[in-house]
Amino acid sequence: MSSDPELFDKVVNLCKRRGFVFPSAEIYGGFRSTYDYGPVGAQMLRNVKDAWWRSMVQMRTDVVGLDAAILSPPQVWEASGHLQNFTDPLVDCKNCKNRFREDKLDDPNTCPNCGETGTFTEAKQFNLMFETQAGPVAGSGAQAFLRPETAQGMFTNFSNVLNTSRKKPPFGIAQVGKSFRNEITPQNFVFRTREFEQMEMEFFVPPADAQEWYEYWCKERFDWYLEHGIPEEKLRLRPHDADELSHYSSGTSDVEFAFPWGWDELEGIANRGDYDLRQHAEHSGEKLDYFDQANNERYTPHCIEPAAGATRTMMAFLMAAYDEDEVNDDTRTVLRLHHRIAPFKVAVLPLSKKEDLIPTSKEVLALVQPRYMSDYDETQAIGRRYRRQDELGTPLCITIDFDTLDDRAVTVRERDSMEQERVPIEGLVGYLSDRLD
Ligand code: ATP
């Protein structure tokens, strides 16, 4: 496993330098581990979420989408168990006054900040949910929470979806969106933040088939990361030990990535039994089950949940794609991103700013822009513009030069090999489609 502390700094610097991720409210000194996604970061994050949605919803007939509210009443979190149990153990160091999550300490008696031993307070259970109030009047009925996961929206809408989508078990409900956790120690850039995005799916199955579907989704989700360009040696599927499992789970596995600090979670796949639907049925008084007409039986479906982080996965894609190679005695930085994840698929680059080249360059842009997210850049030496696109992970650069005016062909340069090929403008769309679709 690679452990490259320099890689972390290099990726964080690249993110700032090229407009992937900025510290939030930076002009005011930043705000507590929150981040803003810049022009290329916003595009890349969108691509991560689109790639997930494509695999999980678009390409399947047994999963439908949902976009549920972020604000929710306490009843939801009472039923789900979050109000009582969504806590982390918090300890204070009496010497340096820093706070830590006890379960993440290498040594539970030694402060990692000041190095003193035996200075921790007793662990307190700290609830991670952000609480707020809906409406101008405080008091009962106004209490609200920002969701700490997207999953509960799928359980509370189980009947709505069942009654409107013509699906029956086995079927899933998928959602992508923001979640909020008041993490005690947000850390490692966008790996652990208080505001983040999740990509979650609840897959409802007949109880007898739950184990089989659990294994199916473990494989399916692991393969998704491979298909989108993370090398196999940087990924592993780690089944939880019995003492790590929540009381309702009969199996959980994490997809882990080799981050610069070690293996860490990208996604958890859990066999949650009928816990969630039963809890909500009990607390709401509504029936949340399924009547199987073929077998004349009513049952509460069991649920398999693949729960991934979009922002955390974007960071893993960046870490896995970052590379440096030597070109003409110079170090080239390149993001070897899968084309579906890369912010731009193509860059249209007139060789120079000379006026003769601009109409044809704009013609080429008009051809590719409706089909592929494209960058257009006409200033600086062409070599520097190629380097910039390499750092953004753009798979293909299209250069319009003076020969283009005679032969109506452009040069297409491939990011990883840097090989160049002459392609007629007339055949360009077909050529790009072979490479990118
Ligand atoms: P951890 O043990 O790291 O706190 P978790 O096991 O509680 O995480 P889940 O509740 O299973 O995480 O959430 C599913 C996914 O959501 C995680 O695998 C991760 O990718 C993402 N996620 C969870 N918390 C955060 C966070 N604070 N910042 C960014 N992503 C997060």
Residues 6+ apart with CB under 8 A from 217: 203, 269, 304, 306
What domains appear along the chain, each with residue ranges and CATH number?
5-72+146-318 (3.30.930.10), 344-436 (3.40.50.800)
Pocket probe mutation, ligand 1, options 265, 272, 311, 313, max atoms within 8 Å of Cβ? 265
Q: How confident is the model at residue 248 (pLDDT cuts 50, 70, 90)?
A: confident
Q: What is the mean pLDDT of residues 70-97?
A: 95
CB 134 within 8 A of CB 163: no
222 lines ligand 1 (CB under 6 A): no
Pocket probe mutation, ligand 1, options 195, 198, 238, 304, max atoms within 8 Å of Cβ? 198
Q: How confident is the model at residue 140 (pLDDT cuts 50, 70, 90)?
A: low
Q: Which atom of ligand 1 is nearest to the CA of 264?
A: 3
CB 81 within 8 A of CB 128: no
Q: Residue 52 pLDDT > 80, yes or no?
A: yes
170 preceded by a cis bond (ω within 30 of 0): yes
pLDDT tens digits, residue range 337-373?
A: 999 999 999 999 999 988 899 999 999 999 999 999 9
Q: Residue 4 pLDDT > 90, yes or no?
A: no
pLDDT at 1: 36
Provide the residue type at 316 as one letter: A
The mean pLDDT value of the chain amounts to 95
- Angle, CA 277 vertex, CA 214 and CA 217 arms, to 5°: 15
d(CA 366, CA 287): 54
pLDDT at 181: 97
Give distance in angstroms: CA of 142 to centre of ligand 1.
28
pLDDT tens digits, residue range 176-193?
A: 999 999 999 898 999 999
Nearest in space to 166 (alpha carbons), one of 74, 91, 61: 61
Q: What is the mean pLDDT of residues 370-398?
A: 97
Provide the residue type at 418 as one letter: M
Give distance in angstroms: CA of 60 to centre of ligand 1.
25
Bridge partners of 325? 332
Q: What is the mean pLDDT of residues 115-135?
A: 94
Ligand 1, atom 28, lies closest to the CA of: 192
Pocket probe mutation, ligand 1, options 24, 88, 196, max atoms within 8 Å of Cβ? 196
Q: Which atom of ligand 1 is nearest to the CA of 254?
A: 18
d(CA 71, CA 294): 39
d(CA 236, CA 234): 7
198 lines ligand 1 (CB under 6 A): yes
Output the six-digit token pair for 125. 């259970």
pLDDT at 169: 97
Bridge partners of 132? 144
Sheet of strand 251-259, all strands in order from the earlier edge strand to the far edge: 63-66, 171-180, 195-205, 302-309, 262-271, 251-259, 235-239
Ligand 1, atom 8, lies closest to the CA of: 265
Q: What is the mean pLDDT of residues 265-287?
A: 98
33 lines ligand 1 (CB under 6 A): no
* pTM greater than the 0.75 cutoff: yes
Question: Sign of dihedral through CA atoms 46, 86, 303, 250?
Answer: positive
Q: What is the mean pLDDT of residues 58-83?
A: 97
CB 159 within 8 A of CB 288: yes
339 lines ligand 1 (CB under 6 A): no
d(CA 76, CA 71): 11
Find the range with the poorest average confidence among 56-60, 103-107, 303-307, 331-335.
103-107
Ligand 1, atom 19, lies closest to the CA of: 309
Q: Kindly state the percentage of the chain with pLDDT values over 70.
A: 99
pLDDT at 246: 85
Q: Which residues of 80-98 are buried (b: 16+ CB within 10 A; e: fewer)?
A: bebbeebebbbbbbeeeee
Q: Residue 2 pLDDT > 50, yes or no?
A: no
Give distance in angstroms: CA of 255 to centre of ligand 1.
12
* H or E element at residue 398: strand 396-400
315 lines ligand 1 (CB under 6 A): no
Q: Which atom of ligand 1 is nearest to the CA of 267?
A: 18
413 lines ligand 1 (CB under 6 A): no
Q: Residue 333 pLDDT > 80, yes or no?
A: yes
Give distance in angstroms: CA of 201 to centre of ligand 1.
14
196 lines ligand 1 (CB under 6 A): yes
Q: What is the mean pLDDT of residues 7-36?
A: 95
Give distance in angstroms: CA of 34 to centre of ligand 1.
15
The 8-class DSSP code of residue 56 comes to I
